[in-house]
């Protein structure tokens, strides 16, 4: 049961990290404020680092990482591009990123609650990702 919970938790975490990196990369070309650009770029790098850690733990548990669902990726892309076409600006970017962070936190917390038998190492990694997402969401408030 521990391995199953560990793998499930890590797969969801890895998928969420990929969604976050994709979202940041999607909006970065439209960012005007240099400080916002720096924060998003730094957060992208931190997500990539945590993604590498997640991938390593998945391999250690003889599991494969999974890509985010096609529907989730498609809906995210449509929402981002439609919203940006109607209201381009750093406030829109901050709102999109903040909303994505909040969704990520809720999803990861649900999996953390559901996968109670996961390894302590996997739980600690997911908590790092949750903290990163919470911090980024708070940082975005200055640009709303």
pLDDT string in tens for the chain (144-residue length): 788 999 999 999 999 999 999 999 999 999 999 999 999 999 999 999 999 999 999 999 999 887 778 888 888 888 887 888 888 899 999 999 999 999 999 999 999 999 999 999 999 999 999 999 999 999 999 999
Alpha carbons 132 and 102: distance in angstroms, whole number: 11
pLDDT score recorded for residue 67: 79
Alpha carbons 141 and 137: distance in angstroms, whole number: 7
**Helix (H, G, I), strand (E, B), or coil: what is residue 68?**
coil
Q: Which of 20, 70, 94 is nearest to 50 (CA)?
A: 20
Alpha carbons 138 and 83: distance in angstroms, whole number: 21
- Is residue 93 exposed (0-12), middle (13-18) or buried (19+ Cβ within 10 Å)? buried
pLDDT score recorded for residue 103: 95
- For the entire predicted model, the pTM comes to 0.92
Alpha carbons 32 and 102: distance in angstroms, whole number: 23
Instruction: Assess contact for 12 and 69: CB atoms under 8 A.
Output: no
Per CATH, domain 2-143 is 1.20.1260.10: yes
pLDDT score recorded for residue 60: 94
């Amino acid at each position: 049961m521990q391995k199953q919970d560990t793998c499930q938790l890590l797969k969801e975490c890895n998928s969420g990290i990929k969604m976050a990196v994709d979202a940041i990369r999607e909006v970065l070309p439209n960012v005007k404020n240099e400080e916002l650009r720096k924060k998003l770029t730094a957060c992208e790098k931190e997500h990539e680092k945590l993604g590498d850690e997640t991938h390593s733990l998945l391999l250690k548990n003889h599991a494969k990482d999974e890509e985010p669902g096609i529907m989730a990726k498609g809906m995210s892309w449509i929402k981002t591009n439609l919203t940006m076409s109607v209201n381009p600006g750093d406030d829109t970017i901050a709102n999109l990123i903040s909303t994505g962070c909040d969704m990520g936190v809720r999803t990861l917390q649900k999996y953390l609650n559901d996968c109670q038998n996961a390894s302590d190492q996997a739980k600690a990694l997911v908590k790092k990702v949750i903290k990163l997402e919470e911090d980024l969401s708070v940082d975005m408030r200055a640009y709303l």
